[in-house]
A and B are shown apart, each in its own frame.
Chain A
């Protein structure tokens, strides 16, 4: 039995310890905002926060989740997160939208550690998240917008 917190709520998992966190979130907790796209940690669509750090939930087995604090897109509540989502809407970033939960989770994690990231730091934080619709220019604009507003 594995105990963990998801979006501030205590959860218990009793299944196959090899099962990645992503499927626990999606299928058992119905938190479907985190997406499956590659399953090998190469695209970032499944990004969630693990003790505040962005991780690829498709590649994190449940066996590593004991005592973990997980946050998904559904559980975003911090002022930074709210600002990021607002900037995302103001810049009209989304296209198909499938990658965007992961993009937002990566961006929020970045800005929560560093409200004034340099362009290079933004590159580094976001390069693991593929957007096949290539909304990258607006993602950058939204991160910069959030950074400006959070710093103000």
Chain B
């Protein structure tokens, strides 16, 4: 998920000149990453009264706390929604502290962007864009090393030796004659000055980084003990369901709750801006009561078209010129004629709406007081959520307390302005001082929009029989995610970046390149879905590359390699893939393989898929080999797990996942019709990591984009027919 660089400055937002906001955002974008000091922020003892779960811990800095019984508690500023950051971030601190892994614990950070902002997002705290490890890397190394130095200095004083004679290993501070645990030295260490620029380890000194460290959240998640929003039970709490309009944009005209009132446990029903809240003392009572309400909706402003009509329009628009985003050389002139040995190839690719369909549907527990607001949920963007709450309640953002919990998946879904969190608060404010758990049923979650936008790509190129590309013309037509939302100010340029990310900066060498985009508005809302625009853009680019290779009878791997000369990290993953997957070895009859490579969120991933048909002539993906370059792999096993998961996640979109509209109404309301990958469909996956000394980059999303084209290219090789749309229908 690419997330917002924005000042959520609620107090004077309206007075902020749009222009200057744009400039601020542009400046951030231009620098690639806005680093607001990679400091680890020493905290004064006044701030030691922590809200975290380790209440007896003493605070060394914003990220390191230590308990008297010798636990090193790492404060995790990012949401763990499955990607494993609780383990990864804790590993970085433990490494620099020389802690023993078994003494390491963790807790989620409070919502406080002054300490816990994402260093790539300016003054905003949040998780997304696969940035958690990358932005925290230096910060947490400093935090761990600074705490370590304080123990070393304290021990040196206590033992009357020079600090150079004190070492730390495996959680013990030692000199030639003494040995003490962190816990034993804690009081003395706290009196030490934290060094501003602590000495960091060299890569050769790492003992935890690069090793297989078991996930820190594994025990509680295999015993049913992990707490998610859905599990929160507070005294006197009510459960709220919302009766939403059958389509996005519908407005409640009137309702009759007389039957609902007769349900045992019913508490109240009232309007909120987006529908009718129905509250009861249990989920079941709330659901029964909601089912009993009769509501009239005004659906005049809702979508009326079906998916096929929408696609028809998308295709029509794609054939026309769009707004140029990249322009190099004269593509039209090149494509106007071809000589002998030159081929002009064109193709049109089509991608449907997709739902995040997180296993845990959206939910939020809210308690609103007279000038207070406390929330319990898997907050992916605390600063945005605080901002939304403060706008609604008219209180200062920092008054909004957020207790971050595990999220049962997100894939981008939990980072959304003015959405489910706002609904929960809108309900809680009407029954003040009593906690409310607002939950979505699966049906609510499926029908509330925020889909990966549907898209059509028209691509034309000229390729010579030698394998060179002289022109590439690409028109991407899709709905913008942020247009018309509170985050619209983040759109940089005439076309939202999501339409052309991974295309406008095409890595393949071409003498001329023109990349265009056209945004088509819709009342069905879009949102970032694991790897955002890359998820569909890579499909178009990488399927098309295979078509070009095919046109000039080149091997797809060799064709790519030749066009990626000088792009060492693209070549690095391709070469590793080719070696590990035995690219040149033919498969038995009835089987075929395809490859794709893509860079997203700062990491390079190449994948090879092997496909065949089963006895019933259904497509099956037998094996996927993956090569990834994500810089230093903090925890190689988690990197592998993220690639495996991304591959399985993306495969759902190959086999049948899609959201379609019938006269504007979404067809897929639950897992009977919306079909994520199932157990027996999972191929054998092998993941190989390119050894690297580069700073770490993201792994949560980059494994998604190359999968669908790799499978499509394998199907092309198997059937001789190119694949132009997802899900693959044969």
Contacts and interface: CB of A to CB of B under 8 A. Distances in A.
Contacts of A38: 442, 670-671
Given A130-B678, A135-B644, A137-B682, A92 B217 contact: no
B230 A138 contact: no
A52 interface: no
Contacts of A34: 224
B645 interface: yes
A61 to B, nearest CB: 10
Given A97-B226, A137-B684, A23 B284 contact: yes
B648 A35 contact: no
B406 interface: yes
Interface in A78-93: 85, 88-89, 92-93
A98 B409 contact: yes
Contact of A23 (B264, B283, B645): B283
Interface string B72-88: 00000000011110000
B620 interface: no
Given A33-B223, A37-B361, A135-B644, A89 B218 contact: yes
Interface stretch (B352-360, B382-390, B555-563): B352-360
B282 interface: yes
A88 B284 CA distance: 32
B106 to A, nearest CB: 15
Interface string A126-139: 11011111111111
Interface string A13-33: 001101110010011001111
A37 B217 contact: no
Contact of A35 (B233, B283, B360, B637): B360
Given A27-B233, A37-B442, A100 B284 contact: no
A37 B359 contact: yes
Given A23-B283, A27-B282, A127 B679 contact: yes
A49 B277 CA distance: 34
Contacts of A96: 81-82, 358-360, 406-409
Given A35-B360, A97-B408, A136 B677 contact: yes
A18 B652 CA distance: 34
Contact of A98 (B219, B360, B671): B360
A23 B672 CA distance: 21
B154 to A, nearest CB: 36
Contact of A33 (B225, B441, B671): B225
A99 interface: yes
A95 B82 contact: yes
Contacts of A132: 357-359, 409, 411, 649, 676
A117 interface: no
Given A32-B231, A45-B359, A132-B359, A93 B671 contact: no
A100 B222 contact: yes
Interface string B664-688: 0000001110001111101011000
A92 B87 CA distance: 12
B506 interface: no
A31 B224 CA distance: 9
A94 B645 CA distance: 10
Contacts of A27: 233, 282-283
B644 A37 contact: no
Interface residues of A, number: 55
Contacts of B691: none
B222 A89 contact: yes
Q: Which of A36, A73, A96: most chain B CB closer than 10 A?
A: A96
A92 B224 contact: no
B283 to A, nearest CB: 5
Given A15-B264, A40-B672, A134-B648, A95 B83 contact: yes
B82 A133 contact: yes
Contacts of B357: 132
Contacts of B494: none
B259 to A, nearest CB: 15
A89 B672 CA distance: 30
Interface in A99-146: 99-101, 104, 123, 126-127, 129-140
Contacts of A123: 679-680
A79 to B, nearest CB: 16
Contacts of A126: 679-680
Contacts of A4: none
Contacts of B264: 15-16
B224 A94 contact: no
A88 B222 CA distance: 7
Nearest to B680: A123
- Range, interface on chain B: 35 or more
A72 interface: yes
Nearest to B687: A137
B360 to A, nearest CB: 5
A137 B233 contact: no
Q: Which of B225, B228, B442: most chain A CB closer than 10 A?
A: B442
Contacts of B273: none
A19 B284 contact: yes
Interface in B57-92: 81-84
B641 interface: yes
A101 B284 CA distance: 21
A74 interface: yes
Contacts of A23: 282-284
B101 to A, nearest CB: 14
A145 to B, nearest CB: 13
Interface string B82-116: 11100000000000000000000000000000000
B647 interface: yes
Given A19-B284, A99-B359, A134-B649, A33 B214 contact: no
Nearest to A89: B218
Contacts of A129: 679
Contacts of B678: 127, 130
Contact of A133 (B231, B409, B442, B672): B409
B158 interface: no
B581 to A, nearest CB: 17
Contacts of B284: 16, 18-20, 23
Contact of A100 (B221, B231, B670, B680): B221
A94 B359 contact: no
B211 interface: no
A20 to B, nearest CB: 7
A6 interface: no
Contact of B406 (A16, A85, A97): A97
Q: Which of A36, A43, A135: most chain B CB closer than 10 A?
A: A36
Contacts of A99: 359, 408
B677 A134 contact: yes
Given A20-B284, A32-B231, A97-B406, A72 B224 contact: yes
Given A92-B637, A97-B226, A42 B672 contact: yes
B296 interface: no
Interface in B637-663: 637-638, 641, 644-649, 651-652
Shortest 9 CB-CB contacts between residues of A and residues of B: A33-B224, A134-B648, A98-B408, A96-B82, A97-B221, A95-B82, A73-B224, A136-B682, A32-B231
8 contacts: A26-B231, A36-B361, A39-B441, A89-B214, A92-B214, A94-B221, A132-B649, A135-B641
Given A37-B442, A89-B222, A136-B677, 10 more contacts: A27-B283, A32-B227, A39-B441, A40-B442, A96-B409, A101-B224, A131-B359, A134-B648, A134-B682, A139-B679
Interface of A: 15-16, 18-20, 23, 26-27, 30-40, 42-43, 45, 72-74, 76, 85, 88-89, 92-101, 104, 123, 126-127, 129-140
Interface of B: 81-84, 214-215, 217-228, 230-231, 233, 264, 282-285, 288, 357-361, 406-409, 411, 439, 441-442, 637-638, 641, 644-649, 651-652, 670-672, 676-680, 682, 684-685
